[in-house]
């Protein structure tokens, strides 16, 4: 039985009211969804709140999920993103900030690929919320600028400019880290 | 997408993220999720709660209406066993003009003057039985010179069509006014016997001929026959009406008790009925479960006697039963990854039960050296489940025979509204099938309440024997079959039903 089949059975059981099956679903996906929440949240505590709301929404809307139309993880991930965006929008957290490193160039992709996921996440979390949200939505979660503009209530041009600044911000961070590493090795 | 974006996306979207402390949410998150889920379940259950409340409200309304009728019946002192009943209600009546005599009294005192006075709400005249209603008898018993003088404003007839019976009290019954119009046909024939179609006959002469006003407005509101006693028509009658009563007159019981309460207890057999899909899917794991679970129940019953043969009963019963289930499952034991201090591994496994999967945590302790690093085990799981249920039976009890003797058989039928409060599964044993490992339970109790369709309906049928002790006490022995009408566990294509068998004894007391 592969993971998808297991998901289907668990989801059917959850639809039938099984709390145990829902707990199994939680255990299977809590890590991946928590990472999604960590990417959007300003801190761990907020991410846990996002995760909690995500799973409650998953339970409430499980009847609407059709395993034939897609994977549960993608569906749940969308819910997690929506939960994060709702909070960010409701608290006006996406007030766009200026970048502190617009001038930096990125040419250290090798260094980036050698970094751990946690290090990447830590870099994301240092970004201003506007950069972070647009970067997450566009680069990692695959939304278009039009979709981002609609979801965040901003102009498409603003989304594009925020993404550009986010990229430069991250590239600057990575460049700085590479320099530090080179100095240490040198 | 440039390489920069690709690296980010791959890292967070496509690559498997290994669980680590930094990406593992705290335990409090699941607890909060559970609370949210429970709230959602409660919200979904509201319709069932409303259904339950509606059923209770309906039952209460029926009881209330029954009580109202019962109070009237007690006031009038007449039971439904009576035959024809004529009840007169008036603010004022001259009792000399209305009296009903038993045959003996009629013989000895053709003209009865009871001397009773007062309004007719408290002094109603009941006339029962068809045999004595004939023109001849009426003509013979009511002299031409006699008349009825009353200011009656309301006349109510109740005819039951049963063999005649009459109360020797000057009161009548309004116990079941709903039958007033059902029996209109009988009443019509009764009226027609008093007023022949040709307009002749005694009453038409002695009652209607005296009228100067014709039919009054009140007559239009009443059945046609009641105009016999309309105020304008009967003012001219001067004497009493004497009605003969057959010898087989049945005097109703004066101490008929309508309400009662009792305690009920007994043993129960819970028959778990699991659909074949559920069994087949788990057949590879040797899934088995107890088809018959033994239990007990106890509770309170209230009943209301609709008549001498029919009771309505409602109750509250607590039930408890215990069953078992078993299956096997494969486990792996890694020697190198075991706890070095206790030489053990902790496991969290799903245990199959007829009511869904229960999670169970246990430990396997290695007590001796084994070959290899990873041992494949085929472990046998045995668990026990305890079921607690609150049942609210609503039944009708029929006594085919009159409750006259000490022992009377009865049959009951009805429905039960049930609430499963607890289904707790306890892991009793895990046999790893390997001498080198011992089982130690950890958190082995799982409450399956949230997995169940907690509110469920059943239909019930029973046969029993009622025994009277003294004036107000009775005992019952019955065998009851309860068919589950709704599933108590359902998950996708899998479901379970519960049927029950009860053997019960109860003690009941008539209260008022």
A120 with B8: Cβ contact below 8 A: yes
Residues of B in contact with A31 (CB under 8 A): 17, 19, 23-24
Percentage of chain B lying above the pLDDT 70 cut: 57
Tokens at B458, concatenated: 């059943």
pLDDT tens per residue across all 512 residues of chain B = 577 888 888 888 766 778 888 888 998 899 889 888 888 877 776 666 667 777 777 767 766 666 666 554 444 444 333 333 333 344 444 444 444 444 444 444 444 444 443 343 333 333 333 444 444 444 444 444 444 443 333 333 333 434 443 334 433 333 344 333 334 434 444 444 444 444 444 443 344 443 444 444 444 444 444 444 444 444 444 444 444 444 444 444 445 567 899 999 999 999 988 888 777 777 777 888 888 899 999 999 999 988 878 889 999 999 999 999 988 888 888 888 888 888 998 888 888 888 888 888 888 999 888 888 888 888 899 999 999 999 999 999 998 887 666 788 999 999 999 998 878 888 888 898 888 899 888 876 777 766 678 889 999 999 999 988 877 888 999 999 999 998 888 877 778 889 999 999 999 888 87
Query: Are A133 and A88 spatial neighbours (Cβ–Cβ below 8 Å)?
Result: yes
A41 touching B (Cβ < 8 Å):
no
* Test mutation, A16, A83, A84, chain B, max B CBs within 10 A: A16
Tokens at B279, concatenated: 């069994």
Phi-psi category of A106—alpha, beta or left, where left has phi over 0 and alpha has psi -120 to 50? beta
- H or E stretch at B300: strand B292-305
Instruction: Choose among A24, A31, A167: nearest Cβ to B23.
Output: A31
Helix/strand/coil for B213: coil
User: How close, in Å, is residue B456 to chain A by CA atoms?
Assistant: 15
Distance, CA of B44 to chain centre:
25
Chain B residue with minimal CA distance to A21? B357
Query: Are B362 and B430 spatial neighbours (Cβ–Cβ below 8 Å)?
Result: yes
* Test mutation, B18, B29, B360, B427, chain A, max A CBs within 10 A: B29
Query: Going by CATH, does the domain composed of A109-185 fall within 1.10.10.10?
Result: yes
Query: Are A24 and A10 spatial neighbours (Cβ–Cβ below 8 Å)?
Result: yes
For the beta carbon of residue B466, count every other beta carbon within 10 angstroms.
21
A141 touching B (Cβ < 8 Å):
yes
Following DSSP, what letter does each residue of B117-140 receive, concatenated?
-S-TTTS------STT--HHHHHH
Instruction: Choose among B13, B357, B450: nearest Cβ to A140.
Output: B13
Query: Are B99 and B170 spatial neighbours (Cβ–Cβ below 8 Å)?
Result: yes
A125 touching B (Cβ < 8 Å):
no
Listed by number, the residues of chain A in 94-113 with a beta carbon closer than 8 Å to a beta carbon of chain B are 106, 109, 112-113
Give the C-alpha separation, B354 to B9, whole Å: 44
The CATH code of the domain at A3-90 is 1.10.1740.10
**Whether pLDDT at A116 is above 50:** yes
For the beta carbon of residue B111, count every other beta carbon within 10 angstroms.
14
Query: Are B472 and B393 spatial neighbours (Cβ–Cβ below 8 Å)?
Result: no
A34 with B15: Cβ contact below 8 A: no
A17 with B41: Cβ contact below 8 A: yes
For the beta carbon of residue B407, count every other beta carbon within 10 angstroms.
12
| Total beta-carbon pairs less than 8 A apart between chain A and chain B | 118
Complex-level ipTM beyond the 0.95 threshold: no
Residues of A in contact with B11 (CB under 8 A): 117, 120
Q: In degrees to the nearest 10, what's the CA dihedral of B6, B9, B14, B18?
A: 120
Question: End-to-end distance of chain A based on CA atoms, in angstroms?
Answer: 52
Helix/strand/coil for A179: helix
> In sequence order, what are the residues at sequence separation of 6 or more whose Cβ sits closer than 8 angstroms to the Cβ of residue B378?
B328, B329, B330, B331, B433
> Cα Rg for chain B, rounded, in angstroms?
37
Residues of B in contact with A112 (CB under 8 A): 4, 7-8
Which segments of B211-283 are extended strands (E)? Answer: 259-274
- H or E stretch at B413: strand B407-431
Residue B177 CB burial class (10 angstroms; 0-12, 13-18, ≥19): middle
B8 with A23: Cβ contact below 8 A: no
pLDDT in tens, B100-137: 444 444 444 444 444 443 343 333 333 333 444 444 44
Q: Tell me the domain boundaries of chain A.
A: 3-90, 109-185
Classify residue B443 by its DSSP letter. S
- pTM of this prediction exceeds 0.90: no
Q: In degrees to the nearest 10, what's the CA dihedral of B211, B215, B221, B224?
A: 80
> Cα Rg for chain A, rounded, in angstroms?
19
B25 with A118: Cβ contact below 8 A: no
What is the structure's pLDDT at A76? Answer: 93
B357 with A20: Cβ contact below 8 A: yes
Tokens at B430, concatenated: 């895990």
Residues of B in contact with A141 (CB under 8 A): 13
B37 with A56: Cβ contact below 8 A: yes
Cα separation values, B83 from A45, B172, B180, B224, Å: 81, 11, 12, 21
CA angle, residues A53, A85, A149, in degrees to nearest 5: 160
Query: Are B374 and B333 spatial neighbours (Cβ–Cβ below 8 Å)?
Result: yes
Q: How confident is the model at residue A49 (pLDDT cuts 50, 70, 90)?
A: very high
pLDDT in tens, B133-189: 444 444 444 444 444 443 333 333 333 434 443 334 433 333 344 333 334 434 444
Query: Exposure pattern of B353-387 as b/e (b: 16+ CB <10 Å)?
Result: bbbbbbbbebbbbbeeeeeeeebebebbbbbbbbb
Tokens at A126, concatenated: 């240092």
For the four alpha carbons of A4, A9, A12 and A16, in that order, the dihedral sign comes to negative
> In sequence order, what are the residues at sequence separation of 6 or more whose Cβ sits closer than 8 angstroms to the Cβ of residue A17?
B41, B450, B451, B452, B453, B490, B491
Cα separation values, A183 from A87, A116, A178, A186, Å: 41, 20, 9, 5
Instruction: Choose among A16, A36, A51: nearest Cβ to B491.
Output: A16
Query: Are A52 and B29 spatial neighbours (Cβ–Cβ below 8 Å)?
Result: yes
Half-sphere exposure of B324 (CA within 13 A, CB side): 8
Give the C-alpha separation, B383 to B272, whole Å: 15
Give the C-alpha separation, B445 to B428, whole Å: 9
A118 with B22: Cβ contact below 8 A: yes
Instruction: Choose among B5, B25, B357: nearest Cβ to A34.
Output: B25
Q: Report long-range pairs for B403-410 (Cβ below 8 Å, ≥24 apart).
A: B403/B308, B403/B309, B403/B466, B403/B468, B405/B468, B406/B467, B406/B468, B407/B465, B407/B466, B407/B467, B408/B465, B408/B466, B408/B467, B408/B468, B409/B463, B409/B464, B409/B465, B409/B466, B410/B463, B410/B464, B410/B465, B410/B466, B410/B476, B410/B478
Chain B residue with minimal CA distance to A77? B13
């Amino acid at each position: 039985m592969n993971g998808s089949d297991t998901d289907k059975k668990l989801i059917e059981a959850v639809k039938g009211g099984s709390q145990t099956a829902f707990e199994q679903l939680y255990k299977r996906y809590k890590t991946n969804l928590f990472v999604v929440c960590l990417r959007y949240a300003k801190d761990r505590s907020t991410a846990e709140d996002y995760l909690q709301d995500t799973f409650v929404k998953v339970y409430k809307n499980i009847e609407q999920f059709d395993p034939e139309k897609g994977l549960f993880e993608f569906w749940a991930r969308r819910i997690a993103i929506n939960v994060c965006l709702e909070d960010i929008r409701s608290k006006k957290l996406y007030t766009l900030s200026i970048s502190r490193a617009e001038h930096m160039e990125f040419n250290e992709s090798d260094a980036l690929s050698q970094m751990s996921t946690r290090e990447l996440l830590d870099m994301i979390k240092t970004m201003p919320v506007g950069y972070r949200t647009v970067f997450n939505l566009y680069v990692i979660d695959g939304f278009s600028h039009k979709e981002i503009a609609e979801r965040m209530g901003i102009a498409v041009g603003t989304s594009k400019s925020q993404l550009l600044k986010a990229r430069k911000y991250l590239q600057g961070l990575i460049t700085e880290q590479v320099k530090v590493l080179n100095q240490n090795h040198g | 997408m440039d390489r920069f974006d690709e690296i980010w996306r791959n890292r967070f979207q496509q690559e498997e993220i290994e669980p680590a402390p930094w990406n593992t949410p705290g335990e409090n998150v699941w607890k909060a999720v559970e609370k949210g889920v429970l709230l959602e379940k409660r919200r979904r259950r509201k319709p069932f709660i409303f259904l339950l409340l509606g059923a209770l409200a309906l039952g209460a309304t029926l009881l209330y209406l029954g009580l109202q009728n019962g109070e009237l019946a007690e006031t009038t002192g007449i039971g439904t066993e009576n035959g024809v009943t004529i009840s007169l209600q008036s603010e004022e009546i001259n009792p000399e003009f209305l009296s009903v005599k038993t045959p003996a009294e009629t013989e000895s005192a053709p003209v009865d003057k009871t001397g009773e006075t007062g309004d007719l709400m408290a002094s109603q005249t009941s006339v029962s039985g068809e045999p004595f209603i004939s023109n001849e008898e009426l003509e013979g018993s009511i002299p031409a010179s006699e008349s009825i003088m009353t200011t009656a404003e309301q006349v109510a007839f109740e005819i039951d069509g049963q063999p005649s019976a009459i109360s020797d009290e000057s009161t009548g019954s309004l116990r079941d006014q709903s039958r007033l119009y059902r029996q209109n046909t009988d009443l019509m024939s009764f009226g027609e016997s008093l007023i022949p179609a040709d307009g002749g006959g005694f009453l038409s002469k002695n009652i209607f001929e005296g009228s100067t006003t014709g039919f009054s407005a009140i007559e239009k509101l009443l059945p046609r026959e009641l105009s016999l006693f309309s105020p304008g028509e009967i003012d001219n009658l001067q004497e009493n009406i004497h009605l003969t009563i057959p010898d087989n007159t049945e005097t109703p019981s004066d101490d008929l008790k309508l309400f009662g309460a009792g305690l009920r207890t007994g043993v129960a057999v819970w028959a778990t009925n699991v659909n074949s899909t559920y069994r087949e899917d788990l057949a590879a794991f040797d899934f088995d479960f107890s088809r018959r679970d033994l239990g007990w129940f106890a509770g309170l019953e209230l009943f209301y006697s609709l008549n001498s043969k029919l009771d309505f009963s409602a109750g509250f019963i607590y039930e408890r039963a215990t069953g078992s289930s078993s299956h096997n499952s494969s486990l792996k034991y890694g020697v190198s990854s075991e706890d070095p201090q206790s030489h053990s591994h902790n496991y969290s496994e799903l245990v199959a039960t007829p009511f869904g999967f229960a999670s169970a945590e246990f430990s396997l302790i290695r007590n001796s050296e084994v070959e290899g690093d990873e041992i494949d085990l085929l472990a046998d799981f045995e668990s026990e489940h305890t079921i607690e249920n609150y049942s609210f039976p609503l039944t009708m009890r029929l006594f085919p025979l009159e409750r006259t003797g000490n022992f009377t058989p009865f049959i009951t039928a009805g429905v039960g509204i049930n609430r499963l409060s607890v289904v707790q599964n306890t892991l009793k044993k895990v046999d790893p099938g390997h001498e080198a490992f011992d089982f130690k339970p950890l958190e082995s109790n799982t409450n399956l309440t949230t997995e169940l369709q907690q509110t469920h309906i059943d239909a019930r049928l029973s046969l029993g024997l009622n025994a009277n002790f003294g004036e107000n006490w009775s005992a019952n022995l019955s065998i009851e079959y309860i068919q589950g009408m709704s599933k108590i566990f359902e998950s996708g294509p899998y479901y379970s039903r519960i049927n029950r068998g009860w053997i019960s004894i109860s003690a009941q007391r008539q209260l008022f």
